[in-house]
Structure 1
Amino acid sequence: MTANDMPPVATPRVAAGALFFDDEGRVLLVRPSYKNHWDIPGGYVEPGESPRAACIREIAEELGLTVQVGPLLVVDWAPAESEGDKLLFVFNAGALSEEQEGLISFRDGELVEWRYVAASALGGYVPARLVRRIHTAISALEEGSAVYAEHGVPSESA
């Protein structure tokens, strides 16, 4: 069988994001200048780059922080009509110290603001699909096990 005889395969866009928490368990959200909603720090994976490396790079580019991210919390298959197939990785980034919070700077101009938001209030900031993904990630953190999700819903529920 030659490459031309192969059936088509998915070529999803891949992105990685980080969940940071404060002492009260609130999630750090960022407000991109180019979106109408808030998001978690992160972005698209570049060719040849791992999702973890992309997450670390994006945190450095967006927040000006050099951090190591912790364990994987969620892999979410979440195609979007306007963007096609997508695989989204969410990593636990733990808590930022007050010193780290003071060092946050928007170096690349993509972000204009950051804040901590209670999980119960996420719907007022981010799209429903991201609310589901964040809640799934928080549950995975509490259970100590990574989760596969579809559209933010754990696979056993999808």
Structure 2
Amino acid sequence: MTGSEMPPMATPRVAAGALFFDDEGRVLLVKPDYKNHWDIPGGYVEPGESPRAACIREVREELSLAIEVGPMLVVDWAPALNEGDKILFIFDAGTLSSDDQQRITFPDGELTEWRFVGRDDLSAYGPARLIRRVQAAISGKDLHRPIYAEHGVGQ
């Protein structure tokens, strides 16, 4: 089979984020200055970079925290209008200690705020697709197994 005979293949954008919790089980959300909603720390995977490595790099760049992430909680196939196919990973970043919370700074200037939000209050902070993905990740953590999702809905 030659290159011209190859069937079309997806070339999705890939992103990875970290799910941090506090001692009360609330989720860390951040406010990017370029979005109209809150998000979790993370970003796009660079060429040749694994999703886990991207997650660690993005947390360091966005929050000034050097972390190791735990297991993958969710992988979500979530195409977006005008952006095409996307595959989004969320990794368990564990409980953020009060010492680490005090070390948070925004060196790259992309973020303006951070806060912990309870599971029941998440919908007030972001679009439904993001909230479904975060809820699926929380379920993965609770169930001690990764979740496969499409548009944030666990399968």
Q: TM-score, normalised by structure 2?
A: 0.99
User: Unaligned 5+ residue runs, structure 1?
Assistant: none
Q: CA deviation at 1:82?
A: 1.6
Match of 1:80 in 2: 80
Give a deviation string over 1:44-70, Cα, whole Å, max 9, x none. Answer: 000000000000000000000000000
Describe the SS at the equivalent of 1:43.
strand
Q: Partners in 1 of 2:84 and 2:118 — Cα distance?
A: 30
Match of 1:120 in 2: 120
Q: CA deviation at 1:101?
A: 0.5
Aligned pair 1:55/2:55, yes or no?
A: yes
User: Unaligned 5+ residue runs, structure 2?
Assistant: none
**Number of residues paired by the alignment?**
155
Match of 2:133 in 1: 133
After TM superposition, the structure 1 = structure 2 runs for residues 79-158 of structure 1, keeping only pairs within 5 Å, are 79-155=79-155
Describe the SS at the equivalent of 1:126.
coil
Q: Partners in 2 of 1:14 and 1:95 — Cα distance?
A: 25
Give a deviation string over 1:97-145, Cα, whole Å, max 9, x none. Answer: 1111110000000000000000111111011001111111111111111
Q: Which amino acid aligns with 2:79?
A: P
Q: Which amino acid aligns with 1:100?
A: D
Q: Partners in 2 of 1:137 and 1:122 — Cα distance?
A: 13
Describe the SS at the equivalent of 1:81.
coil
Q: CA deviation at 1:3?
A: 1.3
Q: Pairwise CA RMSD of aligned residues?
A: 0.5
Among all aligned residue pairs of Structure 1 and Structure 2, give the percentage whose two residues are the same amino acid.
Answer: 68
Give a deviation string over 1:20-40, Cα, whole Å, max 9, x none. Answer: 000110000000000000000
Describe the SS at the equivalent of 2:66.
coil
Q: Partners in 1 of 2:3 and 2:61 — Cα distance?
A: 38
Q: Which runs of 4+ in 1 moved over 6 A?
A: none
